[in-house]
Amino acid sequence: MNLLVLLAGSLGGLGVFAAMSQLIPGGPRLGAALERIHAAGTQELQQPPSRVLVRQIAAAMPWLPVPAADLALLGQDRERWVASKIVCGLAGLGAVPLVTVIVTSAGYRPGWSIPAVFSVLLGGAMFFAPDLVTRVNAAERRTDFRYALTSYLDLVVLERGAGAGPTEALEAGARIGGGWAFARIEAALDAARKAGRPPWEGLAALAGQTGISELSDLADIAAVAGHEGARIMQTLAARAESMRAEALAATKAQAGSRSTTMVVPIALLGAGFLLLLIFPIVYRTFG
């Protein structure tokens, strides 16, 4: 029993320390800031110990599958994602021993095998919980990005109709629109311009990072227009219309699936209402 108490305390303390080290930012380091200013940006800021530890743990687990496209779309890095998995796993491991200690202090003495099995199962489930959260959030962001991309195509078509070239139309459409999706597109175009590359290469790089195939199609259309001078107004307008049709079909399918799932609770509610009606008769008849 003493060993179980020590294990629960150590796991709980380690989980609290890891969570607090990630939630509470470290204090500013004046020496590192001055060195960075004098070195003209050649040296990096000194990393906090928790960040270094997480980076070492992430480097020690190259076999861990990382959803790189989802993290890039959400604006997160691999170290933060690994840190969330470690914190959740430690919290799951320490939850069952903590509950066992509380139950034992109340007078009930369970065996050690059941809490150990549940602790391992809960720790494993909590370790993989950030994967599910990242996947769901990335799917929602991709849907929002596709909606914004449809509006972006319309803006590019309008700019092309006003006489702008392919490069100017792509950059002007990103500047006009608002929201995080337009900001990501504008940042990709700006990075391509600073690197001396055409804008469609920046869009293709952004599509490869985020896993959005529609953005890659736009990059291919713009590349053809830039290299061969083809007219892209009709192509972009048709692509925007097809994306709207796909989004409408997906919305209808989602609404239909939700309507189907509502049949079960409605049927259960009706069955419960019928049981409530016939219960007095059955009780008086057989009671």
Q: Is residue 15 part of a domain?
A: yes
Residue pair 81/106 in contact (Cβ under 8 Å)? The answer is no
| Position 169 in a domain | yes
Q: What's the pLDDT score for residue 110?
A: 65
Type of residue at 27: G
102 in a domain, yes or no?
yes
Q: What was the pLDDT predicted at 45?
A: 45
Examine the domain organization and report whether 118 and 205 are in the same domain. Answer: no
pTM tops 0.85: no
What string of pLDDT tens digits covers the 287 residues of the chain? 455 555 556 666 666 665 555 555 455 555 544 555 454 444 444 556 656 666 666 666 666 778 888 888 888 877 788 888 888 888 888 887 887 777 777 767 766 677 778 888 888 888 888 888 889 888 888 888 888 888 888 888 888 888 777 788 888 888 887 888 888 888 989 988 888 888 888 888 888 888 888 888 888 888 877 665 556 777 778 888 888 888 888 888 877 777 777 777 888 888 888 888 888 887 788 76
What's the rounded Cα separation, in Å, for the pair 202 and 211?
Answer: 14
Instruction: Supply the pLDDT for residue 230.
Output: 56
The total of structural domains in the chain comes to 2
**Are 8 and 101 members of one domain?**
yes
Same domain assignment for residues 17 and 115: yes
pLDDT for 41 equals 43
Tell whether 189 and 208 lie within a shared domain: yes
> Hunting for tokens 């319309």 — which residue is that?
154
- 230 and 155, same domain (yes or no): yes
Same domain, 177 and 232: yes
Residue 43: what pLDDT? 40
Domain extent at residue 175: 137-247
As a whole number of angstroms, the distance between CA 82 and CA 262 comes to 37
